A and B are shown apart, each in its own frame.
Chain A
Amino acid sequence: MAGIEAMNSGPAIAVDERGGDMRFVVSGRWTAPHAAEVERLAAMLLEEARGGGSVRIDISEIGRLDTLGAWVLDRTRHELGDRGQRADFVGARPEHQTLLDEIAYRGFQEPSRAKNLHIVDFLVDVGRTVVEVGKDFVRGVSFLGEVVAALVVVLFNPRRFRFPALVHQLEHIAFRGVPIIALISFLVGAIVAQQGIFQLQRFGATPFVVDLVGILILRELAVLLTSIMIAGRSGSAFTAEIGSMKMREEVDALRVMGLDPVQVLIVPRVLALIIGLPLLTFLSMMSALLGGGLVAWVYGGISPEIFLARLQGAIVLSTFLVGLIKAPFMALVIGLIASLEGLAVQGSAESLGRQVTSSVVKSIFMVIVVDGLFAMFFAAIDY
């Protein structure tokens, strides 16, 4: 009866009503690619059989049956049963019977989705965030303690210090960061000088642009620019490196070998930052002054000789030192946050992404906060 054509065509149902017994002849392919059609036919069968007596579902002409088809058929049979209509499969081939037995329809509990008032959710979120920020601070301080302790250990056992790791990190943080830091600083120096000249022109105070550029760059801009760049460039890399090591249990492997992950992974990185960031800050200062000087010359008509002479008058050693002193502290803040976020990575790729983002955002935020604190401090001691 069932030709090859019927076996290979899409799913179909024919109704055969004789006497009190309703008979549905199911044919074709009841398989996943025909899911929509299978569902529609099953719903139609339920509708057709409504109000009738017992139902027989003839599945001898099914061309192909997979778990989806078997599930839907068995579900339909159960739903008929729930309405009080007796339903049976007839003519099942052995392999189809095995599949139907294996599938054996049962209801699954819908995953419960807790529904709260939005305002409650919002308040819970706010509270949780505040608590998290507090905990973050405590964790940061305790981690600082751990790093300092590890540094002290290294100080007294210089053989435990990983010099190659430090050099490797220095290359990545400082040396490879040179071009981008130099370029950005040069451009910012040039822009500040251009704006300075443009605004000061109106008061006939163009030569003061040298004071503006010199003090602004040396005290604030160079160190801020460098720290923000390094937070984005190296802080994110630390978090990702340490985080993926954490994900693959490499951090645990270090620990069970008796190696302190803080000493092995974090001390070289933080030290490299503390050495590298002041170097880069110095580079940034020089590059920004060059950019400012160039614009002052070309756009403001201040020749290099005059620029340098005025610069010498405008700045004192402390101007330069204020900028440079801040750099190692910025480095410490970036290193601590990046390492801490890296160690907080859980198992999933998503968590890695989240921690890297949060590492960069927190580092940049903290760099600016620390800069503000230093500004207050230097003002207080009149430096």
Chain B
Amino acid sequence: MDDTPQNSARTADEREREVVIRVRGLEVGFGEKTIMKGLDLDVYRGEILGFVGASGTGKSVLTRAILGLVPKRAGTIEVFGEDLDGLNPASRRAIERRWGVLFQHGALFSSLTVRQNVQVPMREYLDMSDRLLEELAMLKIEMVGLSPDAADKYPSDLSGGMIKRAALARALALDPEIVFLDEPTSGLDPIGAGDFDDLIATLQKTLGLTVFMVTHDLDSLHSVCDRIAALGEGRIIASGTIEDMLASDHPWVRAYFHGKRARAVMAE
């Protein structure tokens, strides 16, 4: 199940070529409405991919389709080189163990404390002593920048930023190789959002994570994302580095990256 070395010595170029998520010809729709048609997407190991698109173009739907929460009508999705459709339930679970998800609103279990939330996947999947379980949960909580006394609070007692951090701690509980972040910095103040970006960059470096980040935050796109993909008209309309995006001719991409807000960020 975990036969892809994560931290083994590889050159950056080699890493570039390994595709961890490969989406081909994806078609998703609800009822009469088709949201995605013929969407192709590659996510490379070890990169932070920023995913942008106008509201309602289906960024969250794409994430959910990859995670298997939304049924697709056509196309293939390969994760770690395995087609998700052809998997038996056991191998499917093995794949699910290797990714972590930060939902837009945290989706913390409201009747459990932060510590218990982080321990849920660990208890379920890992065989370890109670001492290690406690220590690791606290480690993850501290790694995401929460103070230890937040560990025994319930999600309803946390601020928006703390919920995002706690949810990230839970997403990282099993040391995943890919983390999906759905608007991780939305609803945070600019300083908090900046801290969160730094946190993601640090974690990505130390843990060798691949990060799939849906975001509207131009600061995040600019400061932490290695590559950006823009979604529109049911497919990827542009992808590449921030420079590629700036050079793109697509009207929406131009409007997005050359708008007043974008110019303010780029000018820094």
Contacts and interface: CB of A to CB of B under 8 A. Distances in A.
Interface of A: 7-8, 29, 31-33, 35-36, 39, 63-68, 71-72, 75, 93, 95-96, 98-99, 102-103, 108-111, 346-351
Contact of A67 (B2, B125, B136): B136
The 9 closest A-B pairs by CB, nearest first: A347-B156, A350-B111, A348-B110, A35-B128, A66-B175, A36-B127, A108-B138, A102-B206, A35-B126
Given A66-B6, A99-B206, A110-B134, A350 B129 contact: no
A73 to B, nearest CB: 12
Contact of B5 (A63, A75, A111): A63
B111 A102 contact: no
B103 interface: no
Contacts of B110: 347-350
Contacts of B267: none
Contacts of B132: 35, 39, 68, 71-72
Given A111-B152, A349-B111, 11 more contacts: A32-B122, A33-B97, A65-B7, A66-B7, A67-B175, A68-B175, A71-B139, A95-B206, A108-B135, A348-B110, A349-B110
A93 B134 CA distance: 28
Contacts of B129: 39
B13 interface: no
B5 A8 contact: yes
Given A67-B207, A102-B206, A95 B134 contact: no
B154 A7 contact: no
A347 B154 contact: yes
Nearest to B1: A33
Contact of A75 (B9, B134, B135, B172): B135
Contact of B175 (A31, A39, A349, A351): A31
A350 B128 CA distance: 28
Interface in B114-142: 115, 122, 125-129, 132, 134-136, 138-140
Contact of B206 (A39, A93, A98, A346): A98
A36 B126 CA distance: 8
A132 B111 CA distance: 22
B202 A102 contact: yes
A68 B7 contact: no
A26 to B, nearest CB: 14
B9 to A, nearest CB: 6
19 contacts: A35-B127, A35-B128, A39-B132, A65-B7, A67-B175, A68-B136, A95-B9, A99-B7, A99-B206, A108-B134, A109-B148, A110-B134, A111-B115, A111-B134, A347-B156, A348-B110, A348-B156, A350-B110, A350-B111
A251 to B, nearest CB: 15
B100 to A, nearest CB: 12
A11 to B, nearest CB: 13
Nearest to A112: B152
Interface residues of B, number: 42
Contact of A36 (B2, B128, B154, B172): B128
A249 to B, nearest CB: 11
B205 interface: yes
A65 B140 CA distance: 16
B109 to A, nearest CB: 8
B128 A39 contact: yes
Contacts of B157: 347
B159 interface: no
A346 B1 contact: no
Contacts of A348: 110-111, 154-156
A36 B9 CA distance: 26
B143 interface: yes
Contact of B156 (A7, A65, A346): A346
B8 A99 contact: no
B208 interface: yes
Contact of A98 (B8, B109, B205): B205
Nearest to A108: B138
Interface string B190-209: 00000000000010011110
Contacts of A8: 3, 5
Name which of B139, B143, B148, B202 has the most chain A CB atoms within 10 A of its CB. B139
A7 B6 CA distance: 11
B174 interface: yes
Contacts of A351: 111
Given A75-B135, A108-B148, A109-B148, A95 B7 contact: yes
A176 to B, nearest CB: 27
B207 A71 contact: no
Contacts of A63: 5, 8
Contacts of A39: 128-129, 132
B155 A95 contact: no
Contacts of B205: 98
Contacts of B151: 111
Contacts of A29: 2
A358 to B, nearest CB: 16
B155 A347 contact: yes
B139 A103 contact: yes
Given A102-B202, A108-B138, A349-B111, A33 B7 contact: no
B2 A31 contact: yes
A29 B127 CA distance: 15
A318 B143 CA distance: 74
A36 B157 CA distance: 34
Nearest to A75: B135
Interface in B143-188: 143, 148, 151-152, 154-157, 172, 174-175
